[in-house]
């Protein structure tokens, strides 16, 4: 019986390896950057800006950061939220949400929990209120010209500051 099943197992491994659906890495899991989706932030934000009634900014971030998601949604108050997510150079995740929603509604919409401020931090010359995010993430909220900016993710404070400064200094998408 073993000799009947062994060829099937070997063929299965061969086919899986041929189509790169699995790999053997004795040192542990790895991230294949080639399999991570990439979005054209400029095009996505330009399209989103055409459908909202507030200015949308396109932050200029380090070349090592890779935009991998972009969405727009509507909150219960019928205000829009424009989001873009990035993987930082060290594979941490950050997302920027832009909206003219009230801070409380935006925080609830992005963190899925009642807002409880954890304090404030200064970045880019502005005060950002810190909130608990999803899982072990945190969220920072500030305002720029009547638009709320919310950053959330699992990256470190240096990356949060980088995105905060870039969002505050970026010109609106034209």
Instruction: Classify residue 26: in a domain, yes or no.
Output: no
Q: Which domain holds residue 41?
A: 37-169
Confidence of residue 56 (pLDDT cuts 50, 70, 90): very high
What is the total count of domains within the chain? 1
Cα distance between residue 167 and residue 44, in whole Å: 16
Instruction: Classify residue 5: in a domain, yes or no.
Output: no
- The model's pTM is 0.80
Q: Which residues have C-beta within 8 Å of that of residue 66, sequence separation ≥ 6?
A: 33, 36, 38, 86, 87
Instruction: Classify residue 11: in a domain, yes or no.
Output: no
pLDDT recorded at residue 29: 45
**pLDDT tens column, 1-23:** 767 776 676 666 665 555 555 55
pLDDT recorded at residue 96: 98
Region 137-142 average pLDDT: 96
pLDDT recorded at residue 5: 76
What CATH number is associated with residue 130?
Answer: 3.30.200.100
Inform me whether the pLDDT recorded for 31 exceeds 70: no
């Amino acid at each position: 019986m073993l000799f009947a099943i062994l060829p099937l197992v070997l063929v299965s491994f061969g086919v899986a390896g041929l189509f790169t659906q699995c790999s053997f890495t004795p040192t542990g899991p790895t991230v294949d950057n080639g399999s991570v989706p990439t979005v054209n932030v400029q095009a996505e934000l330009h399209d989103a800006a055409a459908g909202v009634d507030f200015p949308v900014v396109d932050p200029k971030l380090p070349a090592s950061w890779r935009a991998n998601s972009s969405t727009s949604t509507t909150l219960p108050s019928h205000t829009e939220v424009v989001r873009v997510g990035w993987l930082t150079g060290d594979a941490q995740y950050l997302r920027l949400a832009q909206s003219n929603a009230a801070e409380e509604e935006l925080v609830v919409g992005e963190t899925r929990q009642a807002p409880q401020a954890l304090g404030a931090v200064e970045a880019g010359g502005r005060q950002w209120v810190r909130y608990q995010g999803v899982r072990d993430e945190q969220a920072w909220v500030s305002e720029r010209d009547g638009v709320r900016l919310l950053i959330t993710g699992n990256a470190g404070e240096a990356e949060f500051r980088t995105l905060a400064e870039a969002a505050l200094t970026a010109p609106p998408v034209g």
